[in-house]
Amino acid sequence: MTGKRIEQRGLYYDELETEVRYVHRPGRTLTEADVVAFAGISGDFNPLHVDEVFASDGPFGRRVVHGLLVLSVATGLRQQMGVFYGVEDERGELAAVGGTHIVDYTARIAAVGNMYTRPDCRGQGYASAVLAAIVTALQDAGVATIVLNVDQRNTAARRIYERFGFVVHCPYIEGVATAVA
């Protein structure tokens, strides 16, 4: 090991590049505790899953994870995968970006968030293009309910969302919270 450490985090707006497709694939390592917990919940104590000595003589030479555990985790990981788009201005610079906070493909619901348009690019249709791409991708994936929060004082954003069929269900105001002693 080289001692090199990479800390994963999101990117800031000014770190995003055009002509780059950013892919985040969630992952999960299945552990001994996962296998034992799944065996207990499912009642599947097949020695291929829970007995190292028995499984060492089997076709894989060691224990294997329950197939349904793998399928269950894969279903959960799919729900963590969001939808994100950006659009370039006429100079090829990133003008607007947007994406989802969360998508649950099983429940067919998503929450749009993180919409941003560079100040000098506002009023040129970039946010609408990004929102259209997000909504289309979600609908194509079978998402039936798409929600979002927008500060009720942001009339420009509200007009865009209303053109796409979003309706106000309750007031929402963004602000800074302060602790009360």
Residue 136 scores a pLDDT above 70: yes
Do residues 85 and 70 both lie within one domain?
no
Domain total of the chain: 2
Q: Is residue 180 part of a domain?
A: no
Whether residue 112 sits in one domain with residue 38: no
* Statement: residue 7 has pLDDT above 60: no
Could you tell me if 101 and 84 are in contact, meaning their C-beta atoms sit under 8 angstroms apart?
A: no
Question: What mean pLDDT do residues 118-146 have?
Answer: 93
Q: Once rounded to an integer, what is the mean pLDDT over residues 107-123?
A: 90
* Distance, CA of 180 to CA of 113 (rounded, Å): 29
Number of neighbours of residue 34 by Cβ within 10 angstroms: 16
If asked whether residues 70 and 94 sit together in one domain, one would say: no
Q: What is the pLDDT of residue 103?
A: 85
Whole domain around residue 63: which residue ranges?
32-78
